[in-house]
Amino acid sequence: MTSLIGSFFSRSTLTGLVAAALLSLASTVQAQPASGQNWETSLRADLNKMADTLTASLKPWPVPGRSFPVESYGAIADGTTLNTEALQKAIDACSRAGGGVVLLAKGDYVTGTIELKNGVMLEIAKGARLLASTDLKDFSDKVPARATIMDTHYKLKMSLIYAENCECIGIRGEGEIDGRGQRKNFPGPEGTGAMPGRPFLIRFIECRKVVMDGIHLRSSAAWMQNYLACDDVIIQGIHVENQANVNNDGLDIDGCRNVIVRDSFLNSEDDGMCFKGASGRTMENVLVENCRFYSTCNALKFGTDSQGGFRNVLVRNVEVGGPAADMPAYGRRPAISGVSWESVDGGKIENVVCENIHIVRADSPLFLRLGKRGRVMPGQPKPSGSLSHIVFDGITGEKCGQTGAVFSGVPGAIIEDVVVRHVRLAVAGGGTLQGPKPEKESQYPEAKMFGLSPAYGFWVRHARDVSFYDITVTPQQPDLRPLMIAGEDTSNIQMDGKAVDADSVH
């Protein structure tokens, strides 16, 4: 573990103080053998094996040596000429030839919707920019053959870069893609429903062998990138600044299998690193490592759409939270939550380990929610979800808010089998004693939905078999709430091997 953390911090810009704190905590973790839950040891071994297998076998596809400079097809990189037709001609020619590189070498290339094809690596070199047109008429409708919640509920049709049912595609380079998605250009409405008039930047549907490598992505009009029902996805070394508009997610991975996200930076107005189940397909075998995810909403998240399940996920060596004062931010500064695992539309969340996570500037550091919103395709019954076999180990944090960590199911939907180990969190404090909280079974799930938690540390309800070990949460101001409360409908909630009663731990 220490070598992993050292490798991570050598490639990031986190402070030496944070690095020292995690290294110190790592030595504590190593010194203490696993105990408590019988399933935990085997789960962690299985996920480490999965991560090793992915790392060894999931490699970028070999790009043929053929190059297709877009200027050869009529592109003009002057920042004003619309190059949609020229870029698409280069992409089509590259694919017909058996694949290769479509090259944007230097300058500013303005375009509307382009569609990647089999075998095409779109390379944007250092000093080059791909600029989205600011005229909505330049974005063509792309409606996938596979009907999903995304298309039926959000009425999605437009993206800058689109691909469907392709193999061996990708985007790489040291250049930049700028969606120019500011409100003055794309003033469509905000919401959790339809987003007309605001294109996504990148949308790949049911593709295989997908690579995103080193590219800078900026200012989408809506979500930055959406990978739905794809297999064998590598996202590495990317830099995302998406603080230009509302619903500005950083990275959305939906129902994908065999995925690596590593060495990447995201700063987003809406959810940062977000896994979804709107495809209805189970997402599985995912490794996230050595990244920084910042958001003015939720930095690292499953949901909100969870019609499909999530399983076999290992997240390690990451920093999550709200953007720092010197980072761009479209709206509020602190994140609503650092890590949110949410199942409210019937999906099963299971077999998830988060280790060595640093949380900064988040109102609620950790949020687990099993609810009954039940958003489904028209005519489908509302299924029941589950949330089980979840591990958090090595959680440090600072400048977190008053809300507290919340683990809340609802009546008839019980969170079970959760282990939290080795926590060092500094929170705002200053909270007052709280009364009973409503269930809000079908409400949109967010950590702030209940107001202040009854505990400044951890509030658990509608849950069983939840174990805490070596927990330190330090309020920066005196706080009248306890460290932990095991609320209604709980059983076998333990702190350091001792039962937590139905009231609280101080």
- pLDDT of 131-144, one tens digit each? 999 999 999 999 89
Per-residue pLDDT, averaged over 21-34, amounts to 41
Would you say 160 and 100 are in contact if contact means Cβ atoms under 8 Å apart?
no
pLDDT at 4 over 50: no
Per-residue pLDDT, averaged over 325-333, amounts to 89
Q: Label residues 20-35 b or e (16+ Cβ within 10 Å = b).
A: ebbeebbeebeeeebe
- For residues 144 and 33, which has the higher predicted lDDT (pLDDT)? 144
pLDDT at 451 over 50: yes
**CATH of segment(s) 44-333:** 2.160.20.10
| Every domain range in the chain assigned CATH 2.160.20.10 | 44-333
Sorting pLDDT into bands at 50, 70 and 90, what band is 193?
Answer: confident
Per-residue pLDDT, averaged over 467-495, amounts to 97
What's the mean pLDDT when you consider all of the chain?
92
Determine the pLDDT at residue 204: 98
Per-residue pLDDT, averaged over 272-287, amounts to 96
Determine the pLDDT at residue 382: 84
pLDDT at 25 over 50: no
Determine the pLDDT at residue 7: 37
Sorting pLDDT into bands at 50, 70 and 90, what band is 28?
Answer: very low
Determine the pLDDT at residue 322: 98
Determine the pLDDT at residue 503: 58
Determine the pLDDT at residue 383: 84
Determine the pLDDT at residue 31: 36
Sorting pLDDT into bands at 50, 70 and 90, what band is 170?
Answer: very high
- In the chain, what percentage of residues exceed pLDDT 90? 84
Strand pairing of 107-111 and 128-132?
parallel
User: Among 77-91, 113-127, 231-245, 365-379, which is the least confidently predicted range?
Assistant: 365-379
Determine the pLDDT at residue 506: 59
Q: For residues 21 and 25, what is the distance between their CA atoms, to the nearest angstrom?
A: 6
Per-residue pLDDT, averaged over 494-499, amounts to 93
Sorting pLDDT into bands at 50, 70 and 90, what band is 505?
Answer: low
- pLDDT of 359-406, one tens digit each? 999 999 999 999 999 998 888 888 889 999 999 999 999 999 999 999
Sorting pLDDT into bands at 50, 70 and 90, what band is 87?
Answer: very high
Structure tokens that stand for 307 in this block: 């019609």
Sorting pLDDT into bands at 50, 70 and 90, what band is 163?
Answer: very high
- For residues 86 and 195, which has the higher predicted lDDT (pLDDT)? 86
Would you say 310 and 340 are in contact if contact means Cβ atoms under 8 Å apart?
no
Determine the pLDDT at residue 5: 35
pLDDT at 336 over 60: yes
User: Among 35-39, 295-299, 335-339, 416-420, which is the least confidently predicted range?
Assistant: 35-39
pLDDT at 15 over 90: no
- In the chain, what percentage of residues exceed pLDDT 70? 92
Spatial CB neighbours of 42, under 8 Å, sequence gap ≥ 6 = none
Structure tokens that stand for 336 in this block: 């609503």
Spatial CB neighbours of 458, under 8 Å, sequence gap ≥ 6 = 366, 404, 405, 406, 407, 420, 468, 471, 473, 483, 484, 485
Q: For residues 404 and 505, what is the distance between their CA atoms, to the nearest angstrom?
A: 14
Would you say 289 and 320 are in contact if contact means Cβ atoms under 8 Å apart?
no
Would you say 236 and 260 are in contact if contact means Cβ atoms under 8 Å apart?
yes
